[in-house]
Amino acid sequence: MLHATVTLDPAFTVAPVRRRTFGAFVEHLGRCVYTGIHDPGHPSADADGFREDVIALVRELGVSTVRYPGGNFVSGYRWEDGIGPVEQRPARLDLAWHSTEPNTVGVDEFMRWCHKAGVEPMMAVNLGTRGVQEALDLLEYCNIAGGTHWSDLRRAHGTEQPHDIRMWCLGNEMDGPWQIGHKTAEEYGRLAAETASAMRMIDPGLELVVCGSSGSQMATFGEWERTVLAATYDDVDHISAHSYYHEADGDLASFLASALDMDAFVDAVVATADAVRAARKATKRITISFDEWNVWYIDAAESKVPTDWPVAPRLLEDHYSVADAVVVGNLLISLLRHSDRVVSASLAQLVNVIAPIMTEPGGRVWRQTTFHPFALTSRHAHGEVLRVEVASPTHETARFGDTPVVDAVATHDVEAGDVSVFVVNRSVGEATTVEVDVRAFGAVRLVEALTLADADPHAKATPDDDGALAPRPNATAAVTDGRLRVELPPVSWSMLRLSTR
């Protein structure tokens, strides 16, 4: 059996746990909105048509923020289509996903859903086919109390108080040739700067996210960030990062090491942002909104867009395995350990579309395997992220070369006396004993040890039994003389909770 050590010390911290790390994403894509969060004919639907069984799972998942309404969808979206009497709203062609958008759910409906689900909205504006004025109109509609055209129109539509949305995305993936209104870095940088500056004339206290690269594989990655930040640095707070992962050609070992790519991505964006900061002699630091990340089998049949123009087609409905869940858990480890610079993140997406929550139209709702590491990390990661020292055996991977088998992060809530350790065993075939040195905390006791694993790493949960592949108590965990020892099966994600009280 392999052996690894993890050393923790409450004196060595990274940053506070950011609640926005546990954000998600709702796009008008496939069945995310329609028959996902909104299904008026469902037995659990409330007066607004929102499924209360889905809202219950969103709360269980521990989602903090939700990015909306896209995604690629936003680059062709006319937000005015989604306000006012529903029966008067136009249906439009959505070019991004080759679907028909009925506009049954729009800004006001989404904000009501956010209130019901207890999440913070993160609104995106269209800088693909539209520009500064349309962004200002939407901001006025959402955030001004009254006395103006758009704010009074919102009030006339039944929403007396402003929505007061604080976080705004300046477009989406504008570096991507697939994007409606795709722009060069220079073109986008200027438009984003103009939009940000104008939006701040209405509300100087907004948090604004400028588009970074759609992925580190983009030919313009790095130079895009430098050019865009050089144009927008004074008026924005965060730069976005997007990344998706999947198992390719049966290479499970490389797939399980996907967090190495996320680590490198974050480090590169931070270095570029700080280089711009140094050149400008600025004091402000730009932080990262990793507002799209997940496992996505992008080349699978489920991701092929329809040839006609259906409403809410089944699109991107990946069915996730234990290995997929381990990778999701490991990507959360990566995001947490970068909490000094990654201050917001959005799992893409929330319901049905590459999602932890799945629904049947008019029927059941159920949890995918990826639901569990996200929910448990969100629930138990509190206080400060600790700077963890991991000494792990390595194995060879085709993509990343010599790769550590064990990866981990920990959080420490001083007031509650809670320590949570999140750890993965990325070995494809070997169990690993992990020894966690917690002597620096004094006397500790084990509260809980849970492990998600299966003899078949490609096993998937089903609508009939979404608890079959949930994390189970790990009876091997025990604390002796200030050391927590636990055996981790191959291809596994685990959460270990300790109390210093």
Dihedral (C-alpha) 411, 412, 415, 417: value to the nearest 10 degrees? 120
The answer to whether 30 and 353 are in contact (CB under 8 A) is yes
Q: What is the band of 366 on the pLDDT scale with cuts at 50, 70, 90?
A: very high
Q: What is the band of 493 on the pLDDT scale with cuts at 50, 70, 90?
A: very high
Given this model, what pLDDT does residue 422 score?
98
Q: Does the annotation count 292 as an active-site position?
A: yes
DSSP of 341-388: TEEEEEEE-SBSSS-SEEE-TTS-EEE-TTHHHHHHHHHH--SEEE--
Written as one letter, the residue type at 454 is D
Angle 371-380/322-337 helices, nearest 10 degrees? 30
User: Taking residues 434-462, what's their average pLDDT?
Assistant: 97
Q: What is the band of 486 on the pLDDT scale with cuts at 50, 70, 90?
A: very high
Given this model, what pLDDT does residue 293 score?
98
Give the angle subtended at the CA of 447 by the CAs of 441 and 448, to the nearest 5°.
125
Q: What pLDDT, in 10s, does the model give residues 43-101?
A: 999 999 999 999 999 999 999 999 999 999 999 999 999 999 999 999 999 999 999 99
Eight-class DSSP state of 455: S
* Architecture of the domain whose range is 18-369: Alpha-Beta Barrel (3.20)
Q: Does the annotation count 435 as an active-site position?
A: no
Q: What pLDDT, in 10s, does the model give residues 219-266?
A: 999 999 999 999 999 999 999 999 999 999 999 999 999 999 999 999
Q: What percent of the chain has pLDDT over 90?
A: 100
Q: What is the band of 487 on the pLDDT scale with cuts at 50, 70, 90?
A: very high
Q: Find out whether the peptide bond into 179 is cis, omega within 30 degrees of 0.
A: no
The class (CATH top level) of 2-9+385-499 is: mainly beta
Residue 460, classed as helix, strand or coil, is strand
Given this model, what pLDDT does residue 172 score?
98
Given this model, what pLDDT does residue 2 score?
97
The residue to which tokens 């790493």 are assigned? 457
User: Taking residues 126-141, what's their average pLDDT?
Assistant: 98
User: Taking residues 478-482, what's their average pLDDT?
Assistant: 96
Residue 497, classed as helix, strand or coil, is strand
Q: What pLDDT, in 10s, does the model give residues 405-443?
A: 999 999 999 999 999 999 999 999 999 999 999 999 999
Q: Where in the chain is the domain with CATH 2.60.40.1180?
A: 2-9+385-499
Q: Which residues contact 463 (CB under 8 A, 6 or more apart)?
A: 358, 360, 364, 366
Report the C-alpha gap between 400 and 408 in whole angstroms: 18
Q: Where in the chain is the domain with CATH 3.20.20.80?
A: 18-369
Catalytic residue among 80, 109, 134, 173: 173
Given this model, what pLDDT does residue 184 score?
98
Eight-class DSSP state of 495: E
DSSP of 42-76: STTB-TTSBBHHHHHHHHHHT--EEEES-SGGGGG
Neighbour tally for 378: CB within 10 Å = 21
Catalytic residue among 109, 207, 247, 292: 292
